[in-house]
Amino acid sequence: MVELFPEGFEEVERLGGVELAAYTDAAGEERMWAFFGNGRAADVEGGWEDRWRAFHRPVRVGRLWVGPPWEEPDDDACVVVIDPGRAFGTGSHQTTQLCLATLQELEPQALLDVGCGSGVLSVAAALLGFAPVVAVDVEAPSIEATRANAAVNGVAIDVRLVSPDEILPSADVVVANISLESVERLARRIECTTLVTSGYVVSSTPRLPAFEHVSQRTLDGWSCDLFRAT
């Protein structure tokens, strides 16, 4: 399917197996039949190529409005425009919302965003007055997405591709919306005063020997924790 339809196809779990569907034309249908020897075709209604946009809705977190470029932002909000792409993070996930809420309670200082994804936290931090803002990730698509979203929002962010075990730049505040295991490995790679972590459920508070746990906020079973360096 990747070879036949490199532009993309849909994978759907079905009882007893997986269904693969390509949105294509008559020539594509012919290629599928030639390769697989069977299958079925059905017409789809117009506008299918834009229906994915319905899944990306804006969110309001405190004074921040986070949404895609085709949505109209609130007049009284600090607007963060994030164009969904191949990188994770549109602002809608609970862990992202928790981090956004926590950042608004902190004094703006130098900030490092670890695992920046689409750059939503980096962009929001820059708009909130944090400076300088450095964003790092191990995935090249995240670097591309963060740079693009920083440009759209008119903010200056130092975006860097890093290796999984690389010592990271020091900052006053570090925010890491990543997995629990990655958060616990992060402590030996960073130097900061304040650490904001998320990306895990409420029952999985990270163990960070070099930091004191200050507070926790939760949303729909997800958690965000605030730590101070000891």
Structural domains in the chain plus CATH codes: 10-44 (no CATH), 93-229 (3.40.50.150)
Q: Coil, helix or strand for 142?
A: helix
Render pLDDT for 189-212 as a digit per residue (tens, 0 to 9).
Answer: 999 999 999 999 999 989 999 999
CA–CA dist 78, 60 (Å, integer)? 10
**Spatial distance between the Cα atoms of 174 and 112, rounded to a whole number of angstroms:** 5
- Give the full edge-to-edge strand order of the sheet including 64-67: 59-61, 64-67, 78-81
Residue 12 or residue 96, greater confidence: 96
Output the CA torsion sign for 114, 119, 120, 124: positive
State how beta strands 111-114 and 173-177 pair: parallel
Among 78-87, 131-140, 203-212, which stretch is predicted with the lowest mean pLDDT? 78-87
Q: How far apart are CA 74 and CA 43, in angstroms?
A: 39
Please, are residues 66 and 59 in contact by the beta-carbon 8 Å criterion? yes
Enclosing H/E stretch for 68: none
Single out the residue of 142, 139, 137 nearest to residue 114, CA to CA: 137
Under 8 Å CB-to-CB from 90, ≥6 apart: which residues?
56, 66, 68, 82, 84, 96, 118, 120
User: What's the rounded Cα separation, in Å, for the pair 132 and 79?
Assistant: 19
Q: Supply the DSSP symbol for 189.
A: G
Mean pLDDT, residues 60-88? 90
Predicted local confidence at residue 161, as pLDDT: 98
Q: Please state the length of the chain.
A: 230
Residue 100: strand pairing partners: none
pLDDT at 52: 63
Examine residue 132 and say whether the peptide bond preceding it is cis (omega within 30 degrees of 0): yes
Contacts 24+ apart (CB under 8 A), 181-187: 182/115, 183/208, 184/208, 186/114, 187/211
Better-predicted residue by pLDDT, 129 or 187:
129
Most confidently modeled of 24-33, 55-64, 74-83?
74-83
Q: What is the rounded average pLDDT for all residues in the chain?
A: 91
pTM, two decimal places:
0.80
